[in-house]
Amino acid sequence: MTKEGFLQLYKKYLEGQCSQEEMKVLFEYQDEMQLEDEEWNEVPGVKWWVKERIRRRLDLDLQFTGEAKYRHLYWKKYAWRAAAACVIVIISIGTLNKYYSKPKSIVHASANTPVKTTGVSLTLGNGKTIALSAVNNEVVTNTSGVTAKKLSNAELAYAHEKVTSQQPAEINTLKTPTGLRYSVTLSDGSKVHLNASSSLQYPVYFTGKQREVILTGEAFFEVNASAESPFIVHVNNQKIQALGTGFNIKAYNTESKTTLINGAVNVVIANTSRLLAIGEQLQYNSQTNKIALQEVNTETVLAWKNGLFAFDREPFADIMLEIGRWYNMEVVFAEGDKYKKFTGTILRYEKLEDVLIRLEKTGAMKFQLDSKKIIVSIP
């Protein structure tokens, strides 16, 4: 692979557009590539932020840190080689020596748990369900005069055409299984990236003054701008309104998180509303009606689109819930404080064991697999 090809592939990865095969190629070549400043600058289309983000990657394992002891680890100028195959960390100084002095344990697994590669389904208005993995890159359905075509193993697209009918459009539902992401381009040109264990309900074409969809789970929305027709996502007793913007919604249970990446969105809950600024995240618990607003690292929020698990001072219980959801495993805490907080990023490996081994290497936790359970011990 040429250096130019490597950089273009890396840029594609950072934008969340890499396929699994491309990511494998990227990881195989990353240690062989050594690029100086002038070489980065000479590559057409590669911006400075690509260079800087790559160089911030460190060849370190995730390290545990107590909530009150966070301290940023300053990035070495050229320590970017291992990139997403390794873990980015923020740790306390004392923790590094503490855990590197411990012997590394190995997870005791009873079975290998690969990620699913099939299971995405499309349910039509008449109740018929289509397994998209069984369909080649061809027309999947043609309902209400709108054609839906499978573009790849991970993308479905509805024809972008005007429909003059004012009759209610047929409703389709796209569902993803554990361990698999999928994208759909709606008839208005808006694109929705669904995370695992999620579903999106939408009309095959939009009529009237609003474009409305219903989400369960997590998705990133790239909304096609239309001042005359706002885009509305219904989720957990909320309405997220957008004119043309990029935002992420995570709502697997009673708690949901809406994060604005670019543009502007308005979150409506009952009789209250909040206009989010870029980088803000609104958290809402539909059971307690509690609302919280905070600034977040948007790269961490969107890490799932790049094939990563990422967390920023997250309770370990929440981290393991996400890992368990991806691999379709129940998580049981045998001992220790499951609310200790961690910060880091790790690749969503094909096998669960690969993730657990890398977490175990920190010395901060141990795992055992028992059928469909992950048993966690925190010393």
What was the pLDDT predicted at 23? 65
* Dist CA 356 CA 53 (whole Å): 26
User: Which pLDDT score, from 0 to 100, does residue 106 have?
Assistant: 39
Q: What is the distance between the alpha carbons of residues 55 and 75, in angstroms, rounded to a whole number?
A: 8
Integer CA distances (angstroms), 118 to 128, 163, 251, in order: 18, 33, 23
- The pLDDT, as a whole number, for residue 10 is 72
Q: What is the predicted pLDDT for the residue at 89? A: 34
- In the three-class reduction of DSSP (H, G, I as helix; E, B as strand; rest coil), residue 8 is classed as helix
pTM above 0.75, yes or no: no
pLDDT recorded at residue 110: 45
3-state helix, strand, coil in the chain (%, to 5): 20, 35, 40
- The 10s digit of each residue's pLDDT in 234-288 is 999 999 999 789 999 999 988 999 999 999 999 999 889 999 999 999 999 999 9
E-only strand ranges, 144-289: 146-152, 155-158, 171-175, 182-185, 191-194, 199-203, 211-222, 231-235, 238-242, 246-251, 255-262, 265-269, 272-276, 280-285
The alpha-carbon radius of gyration of the chain (Å, integer) is: 22
CA dihedral defined by 99, 315, 178, 268, rounded to 10 degrees? Answer: -150
38 and 74 Cβ atoms separated by less than 8 Å? no
Describe the crossing of helices 352-360 and 316-327 by its angle, rounded to 10 degrees: 160
Q: What is the pLDDT of residues 58-90, one digit of tens each?
A: 333 343 443 333 323 222 222 333 333 333 332
Token representation of residue 218: 């997590």
Task: Identify the CA nearest to 91 among candidates 74, 78, 104, 76.
Answer: 74
What does each C-alpha distance from 88 to 68, 70, 129 come to in angstroms?
Answer: 19, 14, 41
**For residue 120, what are the contacts with CB-CB under 8 A and spacing of at least 6?**
131, 132, 133, 174, 175, 176, 177, 180, 182
User: Could you tell me whether strands 341-347 and 308-315 are parallel, antiparallel, or unpaired per DSSP bridges?
Assistant: antiparallel
Give the alpha-carbon dihedral of 132, 137, 142, 148, to 10 degrees: 80
CA 62, CA 148: separation in Å to the nearest integer? 42
Q: Tell me which H or E stretch contains 313.
A: strand 308-315
* CB distance 196 to 326 below 8 Å: yes
Q: Are strands 155-158 and 182-185 parallel, antiparallel or unpaired?
A: parallel
Measured between alpha carbons, how far is 88 from 310 in angstroms, rounded to an integer? 9
Domains of the chain: 3-92 (no CATH), 121-300 (2.60.120.1440)
Give the sign of the dihedral formed by CA 124, CA 127, CA 133, CA 138. negative
Q: What is the model's pLDDT at position 82?
A: 36
CA gap 116, 180 in Å, rounded: 6
Cα separation, 87 vs 93, in Å, equals: 17
Helix count and strand count (H, E) for the chain: 8, 23
pLDDT at 363: 81
Separation CA 164–CA 205 (nearest Å) = 10
10-residue mean pLDDT profile of the chain (379 residues): values are 74 66 62 49 48 40 36 29 35 31 41 64 94 88 87 88 72 95 95 97 91 97 90 96 92 94 94 93 93 94 92 91 94 91 84 89 88 90
pLDDT in the model for residue 231: 96
